[in-house]
Amino acid sequence: MEWETKMRVEADWFVKDKTSAAEGIRRAIAYAKETGAQEIHFSRGEYFLTDTVTIQTKSIAHDDGCGDIHEKDCYLVLEDVQNLKLVGEAKGDGSPATCLTGCHPYKIQALYPSLLWAERGTGLTIENLAFRRRPATVCSGVVEHVEGDCICVRPFPGLDTQEEMGAYCMNRFDLKSGALLGESLTFGFGFDKRWKRRSDGCLLLRDGELARRVKAGEGLSFHGAGKTDFLIFFGGISNLSMVNVRVYNTNSFALLTENCCHIRAEKLCIRPEEGQLFTGPRDGWKVYRCSGNIWLNQCHFEGLRMDAQNVHSNYLIAERTADERTLLCTCKYAPISLKDGTEVRIHGRDGIWHNRIKTWTVIGGRMEESVQSANKSAAQAAAGEENHITCYRIEFEEDLGGGILPGTLLEPLCWEPESYTCTNSVFRNIAGAGNLIRCGNVRIENNRYENLMNAGVLIGAEFDTHCESGHGNDILIQNNHFINIGFKPRYGEYGCGCIAVKSQGFEGPFNSRIKIEGNCFENSGCAIELNDCREVEIKNNVYTGISRRLIINEKTVDTESITADVPWEGVKGDT
């Protein structure tokens, strides 16, 4: 019994009532940490989380206009993890039989408590667990009729509906095929009209512009919130594993991994529950300033507004030199740790060169007005009014010389993956991109992309709004299937191919060594779109119902280094 107690803790030892389980689970977590237990086991069924704790953190600042937020309400908190598993039960079909459910009052356009917030440590595994909110902030239904400026929607049976429900991140569907239709009707901000609930349960919304864009018989999904928030958060965790994890609904990002090292996701499923068309109003899983090897297999992403799965860091931007080896830099958004000894890629005036960090410190931060670019990007307006800017003081191992001017971009390699692999996964009904890749050493193979608003695979940095690094290099995209992709370009006129390469805000062949082979492209306007790249090889792909197989921007692509077994169409566009 002593050995069993040390190795495994039963959550039900501490949870006496699953209808109010948060405090008991927190006690189980504390006991596991105290005794050195390696597993917390959850029985079958639903654990309702009703009471929260408040933590101090700046990690909520992850988007344009997030403001100055220093604390977060959470149901469950893990800190300083050492080789711990949270394990539930599985059903006969293999799906999780254990669910952690956040219960809270319905609030429009609000931040909600995170279900699980884990910071610092090594060796954390989440297995056979599902996550959801009650009530859900997502709703779906059929458009019964449109009269003048009034849209009438009958919600699908059994769904949560609220008087004055929000209408954020609204999307249309073909109910016969289940396919996402066209671009999003509303976003996570900038549209504050509310649904009115009729006595028969139908929802009414008055807006002339929207009324002209929807038709009776179409499916419609919408959300009560669209702010930057996180259902599940992992920060500073090394050797993180997610195995058979299911997200049924979320009010924002389903999952954020921040500054983690080595991540494995097997059978991670972020997908609408039965009767819903959408899962959440923001990205599915954001891999943010993470290092090591990132590996996904047999995952499923469906019903998400913005990107299903994105991988990126942020550029450090030089402000001034303090001495020959010391540089003062700024960075959006949250203050993320650097590492002594890490290599830094410096985009100097005379080209790209490297140095190493000797020591570093965060010397403060400041708030700046939202800088949502006038250039067309993924959204149409700023989400808020202020951004958090982190200020770093970095001492390098070698002299900086005269190659660094204010505005010079730097990329710490401790914020970039050593490799990223995504295989045997599904991306469906995404009102954004499937894989958003802003890193190198990438393998994307045997995946299925279906009904995506932007590109299935979008490669390249973004500068104007978020300063997201970096460019994509050494990338293999092989044996994938792309169907009905690219209703809307990501950046103005760019970023709408099934596979698209574009570094927004840059002009030149920064993305390189990309191989696109053995893929099937079907029923889409454009198969492959190349901007800002060189050394791309395209061969042995199949094109069915494709209007334009290969588009190359001659202004920003080194065309002599492109090899393709299909004719290409040259364009000379602006960046």
Could you tell me what percent of the chain has a pLDDT over 90?
A: 85
Judged against a pLDDT cut of 60, whether residue 248 lies above it is answered with yes
- Give the DSSP H/E element, type plus range, for residue 29: helix 22-35
pLDDT of residue 190: 72
Q: 441-475: per-residue pLDDT in tens?
A: 999 999 999 999 999 999 999 999 999 999 999 99
* Alpha-carbon distances of 371 from 60, 367, 377, rounded to whole Å: 18, 12, 12
Q: Over the chain, what is the mean pLDDT?
A: 93
Residue 375: how many CB atoms within 10 A of its CB? 14
pLDDT of residue 574: 57
Q: 192-235: per-residue pLDDT in tens?
A: 899 999 999 999 999 999 999 999 999 999 999 888 899 999 99
Using the Cα atoms of residue 247, residue 138, residue 188 and residue 488 in order, give the sign of their dihedral.
positive
Mean pLDDT of 109-115: 93
Q: 313-362: per-residue pLDDT in tens?
A: 999 999 999 999 999 999 998 899 999 999 999 998 778 999 999 999 99
Between 559 and 380, the more confident residue is: 559
Judged against a pLDDT cut of 60, whether residue 74 lies above it is answered with yes
Per-residue confidence at 365, pLDDT binned at 50, 70, 90? Answer: confident
- Scored b (16 or more CB within 10 A) or e, 290-315 reads bbbebbbeebbbbbbbbbbbbbbbbb
Residue 302's nearest CA partner among 488, 448, 141 is 448
Distance, CA of 64 to CA of 57 (rounded, Å): 18
Residue 456's nearest CA partner among 415, 485, 431 is 485
* Alpha-carbon distances of 325 from 182, 340, 364, 410, 412, rounded to whole Å: 51, 14, 20, 14, 16
Structural tokens at position 283: 């990205």
Structural tokens at position 38: 């390696």
Per-residue confidence at 35, pLDDT binned at 50, 70, 90? Answer: very high
